[in-house]
Structure 1
Amino acid sequence: MSAATTAPQAPKVAPSTRSGPTFGRVLTAEWTKIVSLRSPWWIAAVTVAVAGLLTYVSAQASSVDPGFRPVGDLSSGLLLAQLGPLVLGVLVGAGEFRTGVFRTTYTVVPRRWPALPAQTLALAAFALVVAVLTTVVCVLGLLPSAGARGIPLDLASGHTPGILLGMVLLLVGLALFGQAIGALLRRTVPAMVTALFLAVLLPFSVMSAFPAAPTVPGEAAPDTSVAGMIAVLSPGAAQTMVVEPSVANMAGDGVPDLSQVDGGLVLAAWILVLLAAAVLRLRTRDVR
């Protein structure tokens, strides 16, 4: 009597319900990428140093004015220092595509899109530290001028707390704005030029392209409401509003006078739209 032989069956493996690593691991990897490079630390150091120096120089120059108010120069250091977070964001957003690291990233994260939110959160955390340090240094830059005039530096009254918060949010927002453009365009130089144009030059370019108010009596005034609307809703104008209690009407009648909160919302809208476009490109097009 012979026993029937049957081929051993391989154990059934439950299908995997997870594609790629967890979001927490992706976030940790993106944070490691940022802090392991030298360029973010150099940009952070230059940003803090330039902000403190410009604030000190501006306050010293303003202290000869009889109506000198130290807090009036609080955000003056951001005139050039704001370029640091913008450049940092572009380098983070476009850096992987420039160096070719994106091939490894999207092999490990096959769904692609989680890598961009993780990069955004990691950059926001790094930029937040830089922004807080920059704001503290700006405050310290006011102390010599205020002390020389015997004026107490009151940071808790009036619009000052809002300005301090706006400075921090502005620097973080500019980093994310640059990152969104870098991730969308994937080329460092075009992304840098685009970011600088939108954040610095667009409001002035729009207004200079439209005719000025007439100087001849009786001549009709040109309609600048469209130009003013574009200028006010640009990232460059939004970043100015974030650190100011109120921004005057930029182009006359027909243009809304936006508040500090409105400026923050405009800048946030730009960031979200650009990030959404970058995610859509990741999902629908080949990575190159």
Structure 2
Amino acid sequence: MSAAVAAPGVRSDARRGPTFPRVVASEWTKLVSLRAPWWTGGVTVVVAGVITYLSAQASSVDLGFDPVDSLGTGLALAQVGALVLGVLAGAGEFRTGAARTTFTAVPRRWPVVAAQALVTAAFAAVVAVLSVAASVVGILPPAARRGIEVDLWAGETPGVMLGMGLFVVGLTLLGLAIGVLLRRTVPAMVTTLVVALVLPVLLTMVGPPPLPADPAVLEPVAQVTVGGTLMVLSPGGAAQLMTFPASSGPMEGGPDIGPVGGGLVLAAWVLVLLVAAALRLRLRDVR
């Protein structure tokens, strides 16, 4: 009878399972021990800098050239690297079969998904900072040739750089969520690229043609269309708003929600998809 009673002051850690900090540490170790995230992150940084430089160089011949206007142009292509990074972090374990080991050690599903999101966001934040720095470096040579001094702390530039960094982190988490949800690298990759890159372009084609210009003001009449609204509310369209200054106005055919609104829309998509991924993990076994 005495053998069945636990000694006072002794905790049964076996019942409690792994703690969340240990799960986070394990996920971090798994992520940084792979080559693919490092290569993907490095390529993302290089592409951001090179494309920004080429864009600024091409624009430097204009009389009204402002180097800061080219700051976010490199992310138009570099965002592919962020999406791929997220998908690899989310679907990689299912491809190799390591997910079985993970969920055997951590039977509860949500701590693993939360830890993966936290670790991936931290890694993506480093990539984001380096990508923004590479973009800044990319606009300096064209600006110097024109004798223009770049002030990164003037006007809306700090907000644009912050939005660029959050853009990279947000799209990486979007790729992670879709990767965990679909569990297969190729379908997740295709789905992520379609949602983030192709869908916004297709949505711009939806809706009635624009209204003719008002003769009194000789400017096009602003018109909110169904396609424009859906584009702004899509993950890819919302993410694009984060890289624009707040004063740039709405996208064509879309409501004016600004970069903050775009960030909130993208965050909502990421949260919904992560919850859906956690529910699927809870309801269906890992195979």
Q: Same fold (TM over 0.5)?
A: yes
Amino acid at match of 2:66: R
Amino acid at match of 1:12: V
Residues 89 and 179, structure 1, Cα contact 8 Å, conserved in 2: yes
Question: Matched residues in 1 for 2:117 and 2:68: separation?
Answer: 32
Amino acid at match of 1:114: P
Stretch deviating more after TM superposition (267-276 or 53-62): 53-62
Question: Matched residues in 1 for 2:49 and 2:117: separation?
Answer: 27
Residues 72 and 135, structure 2, Cα contact 8 Å, conserved in 1: yes
Residue 95 of structure 1 aligns with which residue? Answer: 92
1:272 aligns with 2:271: yes
Structure exhibiting the larger radius of gyration computed from Cα positions: 1
CA gap of 1:250–1:146, structure 2 versus 1, over 3 A, is closer
Residues 207 and 231, structure 1, Cα contact 8 Å, conserved in 2: yes
Q: TM-score, normalised by structure 1?
A: 0.89
SS at match of 1:10: helix
1:259 aligns with 2:258: yes
CA gap of 1:163–1:249, structure 2 versus 1, over 3 A, is closer
Mapping 1:38-49, distance limit 5 Å? 38-49=35-46
Question: Matched residues in 1 for 2:148 and 2:277: separation?
Answer: 49
1:10 aligns with 2:6: no
Mapping 1:201-212, distance limit 5 Å? 201-212=198-209
Deviations 1:154-194 (A, max 9, x none): 11111100010001110011110100010111111111111
Residue 233 of structure 1 aligns with which residue? Answer: 233
Residue 172 of structure 1 aligns with which residue? Answer: 169
Amino acid at match of 2:277: A
| Structure 2 spans left out of the alignment, 5+ residues | 213-222
Question: Matched residues in 2 for 1:224 and 1:63: separation?
Answer: 33
Question: Matched residues in 2 for 1:207 and 1:71: separation?
Answer: 26
1:61 aligns with 2:58: yes
SS at match of 1:156: coil
Q: TM-score, normalised by structure 2?
A: 0.89
1:63 deviation in Å? 0.9
Give the paired residue count.
Answer: 272
Q: Once superposed, which parts of structure 1, at least 4 consecutive aligned residues long, lie more than 2 Å away?
A: 8-19, 206-215, 223-228, 246-252
| Structure 1 spans left out of the alignment, 5+ residues | 1-7, 216-222
Residue 242 of structure 1 aligns with which residue? Answer: 242
Residues 82 and 172, structure 2, Cα contact 8 Å, conserved in 1: yes
1:250 deviation in Å? 4.2
